[in-house]
Each structure stands twice: as structure tokens, then as C-alpha cells.
Homo-oligomer: A and B are copies of this chain.
Amino acid sequence: MRQNTLVDSTVMERLRAAGLRPTRQRLALAQILFGQGDRHVTAESLFNEAKSQRIDVSLATVYNALHDFTGKDMLREISIDSNSSYFDTNTGDHHHFFFERSGKLQDIPSEHINIASLPEAPAGAQISRVDVIIRVKA
């Protein structure tokens, strides 16, 4: 029925490896975030998901965890919509579709977008990331 021991321990190792104490709430949130495939959450959506699983965490902890995970490169923060920040469990090189109506995000593997030429970075600047966002009406 519950094969969580295994899953949990994987998540626990990820947290330890990142130098984050595997506390009850971080484990639970990490499980939600990383237990499935790639995901895009907001603080609010993750908070609600936790609540609906009877996981008792405060919203402040959700924010803390999202930022802690982001600081350890387990998540990537994306600002697309001025309403709220998204956090993506896929930290690799890739891009996004943004569905304007629903506010949902969908990954685009980096191989699917071919940027033939990029401009030079301004003097003294190093590129830290190139984001391509395809906004779609749907």
C-alpha cells in the first residue's frame, strides 16, 4: 500500500545532500514537489496541496522551503505573472509555454527551441540564464 519508506528516504537524501535538515515539513513538501515528475507550483498552490493531504505546515514555512530549495538549486523561480511567483522542479536548461487564461506553465525541452544567434552580452556582463517564454492564448 504505502511504499513511502523508499521514496521518503530518497527525498531525505536529497535534502541532506543539499545541506538542509530533513525536517518533517521539508520532507513532506519535498515529497510533494519531487515525488512526481516535473512540476510548477506557487506558494499558495503548494500550501493548498499540502493542506489537502492533511500535512500541517504554515504558509511561512512553505515560503521558507521554496526559497531554501531554490537557494540549493533544487527549484528554479520563474516570474511570468505579476500576481505570484512560480517555482519549477525542473532546474535544467529548458523553456516554457505560459497559458494566459489559466496561468499554467508547461515545460519546453531546450532541444525544441533553437536559438541560432544571441546578441553579445553588454560589456562586463555575464549571461546567467536565457529564458524563452511562449505566451499562448488558451
User: Chain A: residues with CB nearer than 8 A to chain B?
Assistant: 77, 79-82, 84-85, 97, 99-100, 106, 108, 112-119, 121-122, 124-138
Contacts and interface: CB of A to CB of B under 8 A. Distances in A.
Nearest to A101: B125
A3 to B, nearest CB: 33
Interface of A is mostly: strand
Given A122-B138, A130-B134, A131-B133, 5 more contacts: A113-B117, A119-B134, A127-B135, A128-B137, A131-B131
Taking the full assembly, how many copies of this chain does it contain? 2
Nearest to A126: B137
Contact of A128 (B100, B116, B125, B128): B100
B116 A116 contact: yes
A99 B125 contact: yes
Contacts of A130: 132-135
A136 B131 contact: no
Given A79-B81, A80-B79, A113-B119, A135 B126 contact: no
B113 A125 contact: no
B122 A97 contact: yes
